[in-house]
Amino acid sequence: MRTYLVTGGSGFIGSNYIHYMFDRYKDEIRIINVDVLTYAGNPENLKDIENNENYTFIKADICDRDAIEEIFAKNEIDRVVHFAAESHVDRSIRNPEVFVQTNVLGTLVMLNCAKKAWELEDGSFREGKRFLHVSTDEVYGSLEEEGTYFYETTPYDPHSPYSASKASSDLVVKSYIDTYHFPAFITNCSNNYGAYQFPEKLIPLIINNTLQGKKLPVYGDGKNVRDWLYVMDHAKAIDMVMEKGRIGEKYNVGGHNERQNIEIVKTIIHTIAEMLPDSDPRKAHVNEELITYVADRKGHDRRYAIAPDKIRSEIGWEPETKFEDGIKMTIKWYFEHQEWMQHVTSGAYQKYYEEMYR
C-alpha cells in the first residue's frame, strides 16, 4: 500500500485531489494531509473523508522543520504531493512576505525532509520514492498576443509576488533535481475551477455575488485571458505524472480553454438565471447590470495559455471535462452548497472583501 503525504490538502485543489485519489484507488492507498489551516484551508472540504481509516489529518506548518521531519520519521512516505502555498495574487500584492515564507521556504523544508528520509548513504534515493511540486503557469509571465503559448521551455518571467514566489520554489525544486538527482516532478497548471474554491478567486466570487445580488467586480477592461481547467482534470494529471512521468521532468497542464474574464462573468450570470425557478425572488436581480468595472489589478498579466503537448504525447493525459459542462457543474455545486459558502464568507472574509473592493 502506497502512502501519500499531501501538503495543503484542505485547500481547493488539494481537497479535490484527495477526493479523486480515494475514488480512484479506494483502500489501496493511505493519505496523510498536512495543512496548517490558513484562511484558505477548510476541514469541511474533506468532511466525507475524515472517518476513512486510510486518511490522516495533521495540522502543521510546512515551514516547521521539526514537525515535518517527525511526520517522515513516523511514516513510510512513498509519494509527496506538495500543494501547500499562499495562492492568491491580490493578497500577494498587499502582503508579499508570507508568500516567500510559505511558498519558497516551506518548499525548501519539504524538500529537505523528504531528502533526509529517502536518501541512501551513496547519495542515491530509495526505490519508488517521488515528490511532485504543484506549480502554476503564472511563472511564465504574460502573453500579449493570440496564438502564442507557454511551453515547458518558455523562460520564467513572473510579475506578481505570488508568481515570483512560485517561480522561486520551482527553481529550488529544479536545483534539487539537478544537484542531488532528487526524484521530483514539477507541474505547471493553468487556472483551475470547480467545487471548494475559496471565493477570493474569480469564479466562486462571481457566483456568490450573483446569487446575493451584489456587484460583480471586473478588473480593468475585462479582457484579460485565463486558460481554465476543471479541477478534477488537474487531479488526474498529477496522478498520471506521478505514475508515468519521467523523473526530473516538468509538465505543463492545461486544456486549451482560453476565455476573457468578461465572458466568464456573463456565462455565470446567464447560467444562474437559467437555473433559478421563476418563483425565486433572486431571479429579478440576476442580470448583466450587476457587472461593475473596477480599477485594474497592479501588474495584471494579460493572457495565460498553456501548450499541453508534452503531457499529452508522453503521458497520454487529456482533459475530460468540457468547459460548458464543467462550469455548469461548478455553479450547481455552489448553488447546492450555500451553507459551505456562508461558513467561508463569515468573519475574516468580510473584512478582506471590504478592504479589497471598497
Binding site for ligand NAD (CB under 6 A): 7-8, 10-14, 35-38, 40-41, 61-63, 83-85, 87, 102, 106, 134-136, 166, 189, 191-192, 198
Smallest separation, CB 201 to ligand TYD (Å): 4
Asked whether the beta carbons of 53 and 25 are under 8 A apart, the reply is no
Question: For residue 67, what are the CA distances in angstroms to 35, 61, 73, 258?
Answer: 11, 8, 10, 41
Q: Give me the least distance between CB of 137 and ligand NAD, in Å please.
A: 7
Region binding ligand TYD by CB under 6 A among candidate stretches 176-184, 219-227, 239-247, 334-342: 219-227
Taking CB under 6 A as the rule, does residue 261 contact ligand TYD?
yes
Among 42, 169, 191, 252, binds ligand TYD (CB under 6 A): 191
Torsion (CA) 275, 284, 208, 327 in degrees, nearest 10:
30
- Is 333 a binding residue for ligand TYD by CB under 6 A? The answer is no
Site stretch for ligand TYD (CB under 6 A), options 147-155, 214-222, 242-250, 310-318: 214-222
For residue 269, the partner it binds in ligand TYD, ligand NAD, none, with Cβ less than 5 to 8 A by kind, is: none
For the bound state, the minimum distance from the C-beta of residue 10 to ligand NAD, rounded and expressed in Å, comes to 4
Surface-to-core class of residue 27, CB atoms within 10 Å of its CB (0-12 exposed, 13-18 middle, 19+ buried): exposed
Per CB under 6 A, 205 contacts ligand TYD: yes
Identify the residue among 113, 134, 143, 202 touching ligand TYD (CB under 6 A): 202
Active-site positions? 137-138, 162
Question: Of 110 and 286, which CB lies nearer to ligand NAD in the complex structure?
Answer: 110
Cα separation, 78 vs 245, in Å, equals 16
* Contact string (CB under 6 A) for ligand TYD, positions 86-105, x = contact: ---x----------------
Query: Among the candidate windows 49-57, 171-179, 180-188, 217-225, which touches ligand TYD by CB under 6 A?
Result: 217-225
Q: Which does 261 bind (CB under 5 to 8 A by kind): ligand NAD, ligand TYD, none?
A: ligand TYD
Question: d(Cα 95, Cα 89) in Å, to the nearest integer?
Answer: 10
Binding site for ligand TYD (CB under 6 A): 89, 191, 201-202, 205, 217-219, 224, 226, 261, 297
